[in-house]
Amino acid sequence: MPPTISPTVALQQPDVIEEYRQSLAEGFMAACTATLWFWNGIISIPDDAVIFSGRRLKLYDYTFFLSRFLSGGLILSSIGFLIATTETGCKQVLTASTWFEALALISTSSMFLFRVLAVFADSLGAKIAFTLLWLTTFLALSVPFSTSTKFESMLCNISHVKPDGSAGFIAVAIFDTLVFMAISHRLFILNRCISPKSWLATFDLFCGKSLGSVSRVLLQTGQIYWITTVGSHIFTLFAILSPPKSFSPTFTAGFTLVNVGIQNIMACEVFRLLRLEAVQDDTSSQWYPSLQFAQVTRDETGTEALSLTEVTDGSETTI
C-alpha cells in the first residue's frame, strides 16, 4: 500500500492537489445525485403504494423496479469508488459501477419502449421498428470497456474515458427523441377537436387540451421528460467527445453519473404520473393505461359530433 502523503508534502505537489480537487468535485456530484435520487424515492412512497397495491404486477412494473435498482447500484458503487483505499478495490468498484451504468441506461429506455408500444398497439410495423431501435441502446454495454482508473496519493480517480463510451448515450438520446416525436405526432394527428388556425389554438393542441385525461398525461409527461433530459444528454456527449484536455476524465465520469441519475428520476416520475392517472381512470386497460383520443365525427347530415376513441390492448372502441 502506498504511504500516506502528509498535508505538508501534498501542498508541495501540484499534481496531488489537482487529484484531490478532482476527487472532491466527483464526490460533490455523486452526493448531489444520491440526495436527489433517494429523496425522490422517499417522497414517492405514497404514490407507489397507490400504484402497486391491490393489483398484479405487469412486465412494465418489473422494468420500473429494475431501473430503480440498477440506478441505485450505480450511485452507491460510485460513492464506494471514491472511498476505496486500494488499487484493487478501485478497479473492482469501477467495474461494478460501469456495468450498473450501462444496464441502467438500457432498463430506463425500456420503460419508454412500453409507452410507444402502447400508443402504436394497432401497428405491428411500428412496434417492430421501435423494438429494433431500442436494441441499439445495448451499445451502452461499451461503457465498462471505455473507462479506466488510477490509484495515486491514496485516491481513486478516473484516468481515461474513451470516446467509444459515448455510443450508448448517443443511442439512448436518439431513441428517446424518436419515441417522444412519434408519440407526440400520433397524439396530434388523432386530436381533431382543435383546428390550429391561430397561435393560441396551436398552443392548445400542443398541450393536448382536447385529449382524454390519460392521453393528455401521456403527452405532457413525455414533453417534461424530453425537455429535462435532452440538456444533460448533450452536455454528457460534449464532455466525452471533447479533446482530452477540455474536461478531466474524473469530471466526465462524474457528469455521466449525474446524467444517468437525472434520466432515471425523470423516467420513474413520468411512469408514476401516468400510472396514477390510469388508476384514477375507470377506463384504464389491463396491460397499459388506455389511450383516449378526442375526435370530431360527422353524421350523414354533416353535423359534427365529439367521439372518444379508446385504444385498449390493441383493440379500439368508440365511446
Residue 114's CATH number: 1.20.1070
Work out how many domains the chain is built from and give that number: 1
Residue 288 lies in a domain: no
Residue 295 lies in a domain: no
- Read off the amino acid at residue 94: L
Residue 239 lies in a domain: yes
pLDDT, tens digit, for every residue of 104-139? 999 999 998 988 888 888 889 999 999 999 999 999
Looking up cell 419508454 gives: 112
Q: What pLDDT is recorded for position 56? A: 82
Residue 232 lies in a domain: yes
Residue 2 lies in a domain: no
Residue 190 lies in a domain: yes
pLDDT, tens digit, for every residue of 283-305? 444 434 444 444 444 445 544 33
Q: Identify the domain containing residue 112 by its residue range.
A: 7-283
Residue 51 lies in a domain: yes
pLDDT, tens digit, for every residue of 188-206? 776 654 445 555 555 556 6
Residue 12 lies in a domain: yes
pTM: 0.77
